């Protein structure tokens, strides 16, 4: 087992192996901006009614904030550390004609990062089950963009999709929304977000027949039935890194 001590260069990288782009910039201050979260969670709102719960009276202000964010030359990047030196990088891809948010899993011993999900006009995912999402949010490992479990949960939420939710999931998400955003009705919003689950919709996760977690999402890199899925060895290392 490798050391769990991570240095800042690894957690806020100048480059991510196998992933082109940048420059990557650590923009931790954005996590304290309520308007940032409204834009970050936009793809999770699957109807006009849910958009209204998310944005409320802040729709135009959130739109202006996001436009300024996407016009930056640098690529805002956030990191959530995982066990055994793994980490998830959340990268705002600010290409003028190809904006989006990429969720990448990496380890210093890997030759390339693995794409878990892409949140853009051609959404790819889901990349995380609910147990994996909560484990990453709650591990309290230092050195990433934030140790706050609420911020971590919301950062990773667009990469999530799971049709089997525990009883406390809505309350958990509502607490995070109340802590990090200014939405007026966190509980109804949390319920709606978890019911529709945004662009990919819910996916069924299983280990049957593979020995590692996979899902049945039509656009997921973690569905072995998809022609673009990760190979079996890469699916194994992704599932091991994210294991609850």
Closest CA to 12 of 73, 91, 66: 91
Question: Which stretches of the chain are assigned E, i.e. beta strand?
Answer: 24-26, 75-81, 87-95, 98-106, 114-119, 205-206, 214-215
Q: What is the mean pLDDT of residues 207-228?
A: 92
Task: Look at residue 4 and tell me whether its pLDDT is greater than 60.
Answer: no
pLDDT at 2: 32
Domain boundaries, the chain: 8-242
CB 78 within 8 A of CB 31: yes
Task: Read off the pLDDT of residues 148-182 as tens digits, 9 standing for 90 and up.
Answer: 999 999 999 999 999 999 999 999 999 999 999 99
pLDDT of residue 11: 53
The length of the chain in residues reads 244
Distance CA 40, CA 21 (A): 20
CA dihedral 168, 169, 171, 174 (to 10 degrees): 170
Nearest to 158 by CA among 136, 131, 126, 134: 126
Beta strands 98-106 and 114-119, pairing class = antiparallel
């Amino acid at each position: 087992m490798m050391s769990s001590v991570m240095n800042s260069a690894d957690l806020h990288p100048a480059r991510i192996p196998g992933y082109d782009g940048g420059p990557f910039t650590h923009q931790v201050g954005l996590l304290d901006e309520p308007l940032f979260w409204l834009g970050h969670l936009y793809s999770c709102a699957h109807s006009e009614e849910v958009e209204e719960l998310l944005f409320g009276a802040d729709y135009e202000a959130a739109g202006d904030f996001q436009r300024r964010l996407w016009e930056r030359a640098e690529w805002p990047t956030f990191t959530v550390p995982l066990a055994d030196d793994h980490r998830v990088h959340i990268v705002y891809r600010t290409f003028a004609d190809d904006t989006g948010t990429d969720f990448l899993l990496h380890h210093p011993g890997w030759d390339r990062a693995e794409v878990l999900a892409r949140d853009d006009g051609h959404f790819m995912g889901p990349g995380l089950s609910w147990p994996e999402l909560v484990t990453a949010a709650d591990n309290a490992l230092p050195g990433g963009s934030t140790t706050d479990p609420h911020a971590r949960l919301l950062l990773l939420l667009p990469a999530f999709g799971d049709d089997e939710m525990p009883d406390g999931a809505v309350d958990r998400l509502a607490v995070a929304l109340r802590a990090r955003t200014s939405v007026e009705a966190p509980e109804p919003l949390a319920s709606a977000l978890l019911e529709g689950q945004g662009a990919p919709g819910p996916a069924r996760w299983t280990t049957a027949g593979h020995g590692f977690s996979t899902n049945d999402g039509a656009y997921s890199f973690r569905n072995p039935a998809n022609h673009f899925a990760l190979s079996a060895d890469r699916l194994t290392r992704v599932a091991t890194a994210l294991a609850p």
